Amino acid sequence: MKPVVIVLMAVAVAAASATAFLAQRWVSTQAARPVATQAAPVAEVLVVAREVAAGTALAEADLRYEPWPANAAQRFVARKPGEDPRAQMVGLVTRRALAEGEPFTQAAAAKPDAGLLAGLLAPGMRAVSVAISNASAVSGFVAPGDRVDVVMAADFQRADQDSVGKGGPIVRFAAETVLRDVKVLAIDQQIARGKDGAAIQGKTATIEVSPKQAEAMIAAGMMGQLSLVLRPQAREEEAPETTAMASFTADIEASKAMRALNGEPRTSNGGGGVRINRAGTVSTGSY
């Protein structure tokens, strides 16, 4: 083989080796370089900057912007280029207490034009007041924002005067639940709990009700005394009721003496009897 051919073959092998080395080095460099990831789009969401009591006119310092994932920000008030939603919310009156850090929604506040209490009402609801005392409002511990039942206690003897003195059964006193699970909007002029947590000693409670519930509550107030029964903070699952009128307790259920005075026979052990009406057939049992 000629010397020239041998030299060319050696040069070719050296070039191939160098190319392979450079290629391997380039691949290693690319593998070590961090892969650039595309950042998820974000939006500036309006959130509550500090605790705000119900019925408070919002100030600029009460709200701030925070970055949120764009897909989650669609449900809240988000700032778009060239807009400042926070400036539009200043002056609105809060319908409820707002916690620091929670996303702000337009339903949480209302314009004060129609009055403070009207701004606290949910759409379609009404405000009606009831006279209260310490005894009828859980010793003053019913506060704005609480949920209560409204119970009426009345003397029903006047509704059955014909049977008085003739031995007929008379239900003289009874108590019944008129409304269930309604919200207390205000006690007197106070629409929020005090910061010190002290009980509110008021004479009037304002309740948020539907139009039909307002009629039932006004009628019940004319018939007897209304009391507020405090409900727990955890909401209870109950069947919806237009006017409660579903449960009542008569005086003969609360008192053995009243059952006896009402004509119920006593049993041999000194107890009273219960008169049971089954489809027109009346029987008496012991209790």
Domain boundary among 119, 150, 185: 119
In a domain, 31, yes or no: no
Q: Are residues 115 and 125 in the same domain?
A: no
Residues 110-156 have pLDDT tens digits of: 776 656 677 778 888 999 998 888 777 777 788 888 899 999 988 87
Domain annotation covers residue 108: yes
- pLDDT tens per residue, range 237-280: 665 444 444 467 877 777 787 777 666 666 545 445 556 555 55
152 and 237 belong to one structural domain: yes
- Do residues 53 and 77 share a domain? yes
231 and 264 both lie in a single domain: no
3-class secondary structure, 2? coil
What tokens appear for 179 in the block?
């409304």
DSSP state at residue 80: P
Report pLDDT for 33.
Answer: 64
Confidence at 69, pLDDT banded by 50, 70, 90: confident
The verdict on 162 and 244 lying in the same domain is yes
Say if 18 falls within a structural domain: no
Q: Is residue 142 domain-resident?
A: yes
In a shared domain, residues 134 and 181:
yes
Using one digit for the tens of pLDDT, what is the confidence trace for 264-273? 666 545 445 5
Higher confidence at residue 96 or residue 208?
208
- 162 and 245 share a domain? yes
Q: Quote the mean pLDDT of the chain.
A: 76
Residue 187 confidence (pLDDT) above 80: yes
What residues make up the domain containing 114? 42-119
Mean pLDDT of 78-83: 85
Kindly report the CATH number assigned to the domain that includes residue 47.
Answer: 3.90.1210.10
* Residues 169 and 63 grouped into a single domain: no
Please check whether residues 221 and 126 belong to one and the same domain. Answer: yes
> Does one domain contain both 260 and 225?
no
For residues 126 and 113, membership in a common domain is answered with: no
57 CA to centre of own chain: 21
Among 96, 108, 247, 243, residue whose Cα is nearest residue 184: 96
The verdict on residue 146 lying in a domain is yes
The amino acid present at 19, given as its one-letter code, is T
Spatial CB neighbours of 45, under 8 Å, sequence gap ≥ 6: 65, 66, 67, 68, 73, 76, 77, 78, 79, 103
Is 168 part of any domain? yes
Other Cβ atoms closer than 10 A to 136: 18
* Rounded Cα–Cα distance for residues 268 and 70 (Å): 77
How many distinct structural domains can be found in the chain?
Answer: 3
Is 259 found in the same domain as 247? no
Q: How many residues does the chain have?
A: 287
Torsions phi, psi of 221, nearest 5?
Answer: -65, -30
Q: Give domain status of residue 13, yes or no.
A: no
More confident: 286 or 219: 219
DSSP 17-44: HHHHHHHHHHHHHHHHSPPPPPPPPEEE
- Indicate whether 37 belongs to any domain: no
Task: Point out the domain boundary residue: 63, 97, 119.
Answer: 119
